[in-house]
């Protein structure tokens, strides 16, 4: 049972890093108080994990057969990769790291299911695209429907405040539903946990990360997005939430950070602004390659070492 | 939730009402100043002082409501800037009245001073209109332009006055100082109103 | 809106006996485009000289502005409107006569000048004050 600690640690770091994508802008600009933001995020992450978190877990079990030790090694190498990439400022994805690790691990003995893998990779590529399209559409649509009708100063002020809270909660729900599989999915695959238990424990570990260690990231990430106007900031979070929710229904864990980047780009399209440069795109593409490869290499190494020690 | 929704709105409404009051008082003071320069009834000076005190109270009320958390944080700096600019304009009206009380306005520049006061009053009225439109979420660029035009007019009149000012005899140093201060505060009003209208414009744009 | 509120009261004038060069100097100094030409002889009428007259009638023809009297190139008679005339009527008059400025008269004396720019600004202020008109 101690092996679950690896997953819980991964959940903790996921919560600490990814909660910034939800209320980061709102907190950095003083719209929502930090304490309120983290409690709301934590609560909705757990809710999302418990209600819909099991949907993505099956994907991991289809990818490769795993045993308990493997699950521990995988989560730890994922956590290490994530820490390194986050420090390098690459919008890295936990699910990409984990999938890379699973593939790397399975290279030594059982062959992974490459059909399942290609399905996952296609979803990764589609994540920023889907977020971009949905944020562009939402921006155009909501602007016509709501912002042009709510014109009075105080009413619009209220609309933004409530809107930011609601979309934030939805995004937290989506994050919980989509990414809890990253945290405990491999343990469920390994048979160490029942899937509903896995969802609950994973959700709680993400929530712990949010509650204990998200302040610094939230402030730095949030300040990076602030140049957006309040309406666009709200649309970005809503598009991110919708994207995460969509891929949860497709049962594939994807990257919330990359969804955010795509959504910001979509707002740029809708408003005819240049919100993103070639360097950012390059960085994402770089992350797509580096994240799975790095984690895969680590897992492969760990597998080799463990095999050597046993023998 | 719905109840909280409404209560939240009330705070913003209260701030906007207080801001409107502040502007109304400024216009009343501007109107009184025009009257003072035309009628020379010096008891109007006291009335302007009273209006300024009331305006100060209104300003403090606005700022404390905003400080208690009315409006999105994005908007607060510009809202406060607007209120401060209006208040500075208020101070110039008070100063103008105070110095006017201490000097005897020379006939050669009386007409220009009266016209400046009248332009100031017009600018203030347009600013109120712009504020009302902005609060309803409407475009205020026409009002901002009108204020700019009037400011330019005041500037031209100021130039005329400074060309003629040599003809004005000055009894002693203090007379001269009060004269200069009077003209300074009379003409500073329009600049502040122009800045306030710009701040208001930025506010409406940042809300889109 | 009354004409009195929008007109320029400060009139720059020049004697009709002065040279065109002096007129140019005055316009450049004061950054204005026209001067009221006061008749120097009882037989002459008051007139107006604009930058247009200076350029078309003197400079573009290669004539020497020092040697020409302002009175010889001035437009006469002055286009005068009473000071209680409406802005709309003045604008119509300007369009009809194809001029950019008219003088505002009170009895027999000129008290102000209204130029196209003044009318434009007045219209803008009017629009701003009546946003839904």
How far off is chain C from B148, nearest CA to CA, in Å? 10
| pLDDT value of position B124 | 96
| pLDDT value of position A89 | 67
Partner-chain residue, chosen from A158, A229, A231, that has the shortest CB–CB distance to B8: A158
**Which residues does chain C have with pLDDT short of 70?**
133
B138 touches chain C (CB under 8 A): yes
Partner-chain residue, chosen from A29, A30, A151, that has the shortest CB–CB distance to B137: A151
Question: How many beta-carbon pairs under 8 angstroms link A with B?
Answer: 47
Q: In angstroms, how far is CA A298 from the centroid of its own chain?
A: 21
Portion of chain B with pLDDT greater than 70, in percent: 95
| pLDDT value of position A4 | 84
Both tokens of residue A165? Answer: 């809270």
User: Given a cut of 90, is residue B5 above it in pLDDT?
Assistant: no
Q: Which of residues 97-126 of C touch B (CB under 8 A)?
A: 121, 124-125
Average pLDDT over residues A137-163: 83
Average pLDDT over residues B139-154: 94
B contacts of A150 (beta carbons < 8 Å): 137
At B172-204, the pLDDT tens digits run 999 999 999 999 999 999 999 999 999 999 988
| pLDDT value of position B200 | 94
B contacts of C9 (beta carbons < 8 Å): 111
| pLDDT value of position A218 | 73
> Which residue of C128, C130, C133 is the best one to mutate when testing the B interface, meaning the one whose CB has the most B CBs within 10 A?
C128
> Which residue of C113, C125, C127, C132 is the best one to mutate when testing the B interface, meaning the one whose CB has the most B CBs within 10 A?
C125
At A287-296, the pLDDT tens digits run 778 888 888 8
C61 touches chain B (CB under 8 A): no
The DSSP secondary-structure symbol of C86 reads B
Q: What is the mean pLDDT of chain A?
A: 83
| pLDDT value of position B4 | 53
A contacts of B206 (beta carbons < 8 Å): 229
How far apart (Å, rounded) are the C-alpha atoms in residues A206 and C133? 59
Position A301 confidence tier, pLDDT thresholds 50, 70, 90: confident
Partner-chain residue, chosen from B138, B145, B160, that has the shortest CB–CB distance to C128: B145
Position A68 confidence tier, pLDDT thresholds 50, 70, 90: confident
How far apart (Å, rounded) are the C-alpha atoms in residues B11 and A120? 49
Query: Is pLDDT larger for residue B18 or for residue C44?
Result: B18
Q: What are phi and psi of C8, to 5 degrees?
A: -90, 125
Rounded to 10 deg, the angle between the A114-142 and A256-271 helix axes is: 40
Partner-chain residue, chosen from C10, C125, C131, that has the shortest CB–CB distance to B150: C125
The answer to whether B9 contacts A229, with C-beta atoms less than 8 Å apart, is no
User: pTM for the complete prediction?
Assistant: 0.80
| pLDDT value of position A58 | 81
CA angle A186, A189, A190 (to 5 degrees): 90
Q: Which of residues 133-152 of B touch A (CB under 8 A)?
A: 134-138
Measured between CA atoms, the residue of chain B closest to residue A152 is: B136
Position A233 confidence tier, pLDDT thresholds 50, 70, 90: confident
Query: Is pLDDT larger for residue A221 or for residue A296?
Result: A296
User: Given a cut of 60, is residue B2 above it in pLDDT?
Assistant: no
The answer to whether C128 contacts B160, with C-beta atoms less than 8 Å apart, is no
CA angle C16, C59, C24 (to 5 degrees): 45
Q: Which of residues 58-87 of B touch A (CB under 8 A)?
A: 71-75
> Which residue of A28, A150, A153, A155 is the best one to mutate when testing the B interface, meaning the one whose CB has the most B CBs within 10 A?
A153
Position B31 confidence tier, pLDDT thresholds 50, 70, 90: very high
C contacts of B129 (beta carbons < 8 Å): 128-129, 131
The answer to whether B142 contacts C121, with C-beta atoms less than 8 Å apart, is no
The answer to whether A164 touches A37, Cβ cutoff 8 Å, is no
At A94-117, the pLDDT tens digits run 888 888 888 888 887 766 778 888
| pLDDT value of position A275 | 62
Check whether the bond before A73 is cis (ω within 30° of 0): no
ipTM attached to this prediction: 0.77
Position A222 confidence tier, pLDDT thresholds 50, 70, 90: low
Measured between CA atoms, the residue of chain C closest to residue B148 is: C125
DSSP C1-58: -BHHHHSB----EEETTSBHHHHHHHHHHHT-SEEEEE-SSTTS--EEEEHHHHIIII
Both tokens of residue A256? Answer: 């919330």
The answer to whether A178 touches A247, Cβ cutoff 8 Å, is yes
Residue B100's closest CA among B192, B32, B28? B32
Q: Which residues are CB-contacts of B57 (< 8 A; sequence separation ≥ 6)?
A: none
> Which residue of B14, B62, B73, B75 is the best one to mutate when testing the A interface, meaning the one whose CB has the most A CBs within 10 A?
B73
Query: Is pLDDT larger for residue B37 or for residue A63?
Result: B37
DSSP chain B: -HHHHHHHHHHHHHHHHHHHHHHHHHHHHHHHHHHHHHH--THHHHHHHHHHHHHHHHHHHHHHHHHTT-S-TTTHHHHHHHHHHHHHHHHHHHHHHHHHHHS---HHHHHHHHHHHHHHHHHHHHHHHHHHHHHTT---HHHHHHHHHHHHHHHHHHHHHHHHGGGS---SHHHHHHHHHHHHHHHHHHHHHHHHHHHHHHHHHHT-
Strand, coil or helix: what is C109?
A: strand
Q: Do chains C and A touch (3 or more CB pairs under 8 A)?
A: no
| pLDDT value of position B175 | 92
Average pLDDT over residues A53-77: 82
Average pLDDT over residues A75-92: 77
Q: Which residues are CB-contacts of C108 (< 8 A; sequence separation ≥ 6)?
A: none
User: Given a cut of 60, is residue B7 above it in pLDDT?
Assistant: no
How far off is chain C from B130, nearest CA to CA, in Å? 8
How far off is chain B from C57, nearest CA to CA, in Å? 31
How far apart (Å, rounded) are the C-alpha atoms in residues A74 and A97? 9
User: Given a cut of 70, is residue A223 above it in pLDDT?
Assistant: no
The answer to whether B137 contacts A153, with C-beta atoms less than 8 Å apart, is yes
| pLDDT value of position C58 | 94
* Residue A112 β-bridge partners: none
The answer to whether A99 touches A292, Cβ cutoff 8 Å, is yes
B12 touches chain A (CB under 8 A): yes
How far apart (Å, rounded) are the C-alpha atoms in residues A93 and A82? 8
* Residue B128 β-bridge partners: none
Q: Do chains C and B touch (3 or more CB pairs under 8 A)?
A: yes
Position A20 confidence tier, pLDDT thresholds 50, 70, 90: confident
C66: enclosing H helix or E strand = none
The answer to whether A177 touches A241, Cβ cutoff 8 Å, is no
How far off is chain B from A305, nearest CA to CA, in Å? 54
How far off is chain B from C122, nearest CA to CA, in Å? 9
How far off is chain B from C30, nearest CA to CA, in Å? 11
The answer to whether A284 touches A128, Cβ cutoff 8 Å, is yes
* Residue C50 β-bridge partners: C34
Q: In angstroms, how far is CA A46 from the centroid of its own chain?
A: 14
| pLDDT value of position A221 | 59
Residue listed under structure tokens 């190494």: A301
User: Given a cut of 90, is residue A247 above it in pLDDT?
Assistant: yes
How far off is chain C from B39, nearest CA to CA, in Å? 19
């Amino acid at each position: 049972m101690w092996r679950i600690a690896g997953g819980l640690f991964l959940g903790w770091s996921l919560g600490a890093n990814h909660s910034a994508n939800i209320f980061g802008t709102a907190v950095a600009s003083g719209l929502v108080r930090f304490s309120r933001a983290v409690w709301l995020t934590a609560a909705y992450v757990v809710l999302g994990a418990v209600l819909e978190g099991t949907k993505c877990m099956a994907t991991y079990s289809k990818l490769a057969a795993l045993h308990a030790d493997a699950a521990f090694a995988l989560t730890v190498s994922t956590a290490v990769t994530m820490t390194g990439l986050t420090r390098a400022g690459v919008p890295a994805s936990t699910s990409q790291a984990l999938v890379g690790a699973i593939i790397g691990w399975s290279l030594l003995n059982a062959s992974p299911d490459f059909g399942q893998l290609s399905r996952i990779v296609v979803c990764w590529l589609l994540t920023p695209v889907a977020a971009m399209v949905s944020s562009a559409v939402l921006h155009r649509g909501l602007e016509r429907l709501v912002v042009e009708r709510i014109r009075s100063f105080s009413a619009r002020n209220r609309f933004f405040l409530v809107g930011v809270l609601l979309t934030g909660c939805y995004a937290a729900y989506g994050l919980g539903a989509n990414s809890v599989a990253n945290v405990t999915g491999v343990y469920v695959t390994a048979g160490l946990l029942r899937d509903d238990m896995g969802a609950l424990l994973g959700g709680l570990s993400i929530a712990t990360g949010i509650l204990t260690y998200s302040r610094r990231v939230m402030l730095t990430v949030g300040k990076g997005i602030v140049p957006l106007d309040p309406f666009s900031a709200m649309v970005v979070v809503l598009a991110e939430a919708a994207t995460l929710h969509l891929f949860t229904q497709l049962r594939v864990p994807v990257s919330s950070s990359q969804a955010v980047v795509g959504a910001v780009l979509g707002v740029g399209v809708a408003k005819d602004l240049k919100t993103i440069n070639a360097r950012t795109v390059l960085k994402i593409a770089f992350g797509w390659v580096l994240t799975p490869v790095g984690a895969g290499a680590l897992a492969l190494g760990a597998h080799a070492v463990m095999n050597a020690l046993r023998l | 939730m719905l109840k909280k929704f409404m209560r939240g709105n009330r705070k913003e409404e209260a701030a906007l009402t207080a801001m409107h009051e502040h502007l109304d008082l400024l216009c009343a003071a501007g109107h009184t100043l025009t009257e003072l320069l035309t009628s020379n009834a010096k008891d109007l000076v006291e009335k302007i002082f009273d209006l300024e005190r009331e305006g100060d109270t209104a300003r403090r009320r606005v700022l404390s409501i905003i400080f208690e958390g009315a409006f999105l944080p994005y908007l607060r700096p510009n809202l406060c800037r607007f209120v401060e600019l209006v208040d500075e304009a208020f101070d110039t009206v008070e100063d103008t009245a105070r110095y006017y009380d201490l000097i005897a306005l020379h006939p050669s520049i009386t007409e220009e001073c009266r016209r400046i006061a009248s332009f100031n009053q017009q600018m203030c009225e347009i600013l109120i209109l712009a504020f009302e439109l902005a609060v309803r979420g409407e475009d205020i660029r026409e009002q901002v332009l009108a204020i700019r035009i009037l400011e330019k007019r005041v500037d031209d009149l100021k130039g005329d006055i400074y060309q003629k000012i040599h003809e004005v005899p000055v009894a002693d140093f203090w007379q001269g100082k009060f004269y200069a201060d009077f003209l300074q505060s009379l003409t500073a009003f329009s600049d502040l109103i122009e800045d306030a209208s710009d701040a208001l414009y930025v506010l409406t744009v940042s809300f889109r | 809106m009354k004409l009195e509120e929008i007109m320029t009261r400060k009139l720059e004038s020049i004697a009709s006996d002065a040279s065109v060069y002096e007129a140019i100097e005055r316009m450049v100094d004061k950054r204005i485009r026209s001067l009221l030409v006061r008749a120097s002889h009882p037989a002459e009428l008051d007139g107006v000289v604009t930058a247009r007259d200076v350029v078309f009638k003197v400079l573009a023809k290669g004539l020497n502005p020092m040697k020409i009297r302002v009175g010889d190139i001035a437009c006469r008679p002055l286009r005068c409107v009473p000071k209680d005339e409406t802005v709309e009527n003045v604008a119509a008059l300007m369009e009809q006569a194809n001029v950019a400025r008219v003088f505002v008269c009170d009895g027999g004396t000129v008290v102000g000048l209204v130029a196209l720019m003044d009318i434009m600004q007045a219209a803008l202020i009017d629009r701003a004050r009546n946003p839904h008109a």
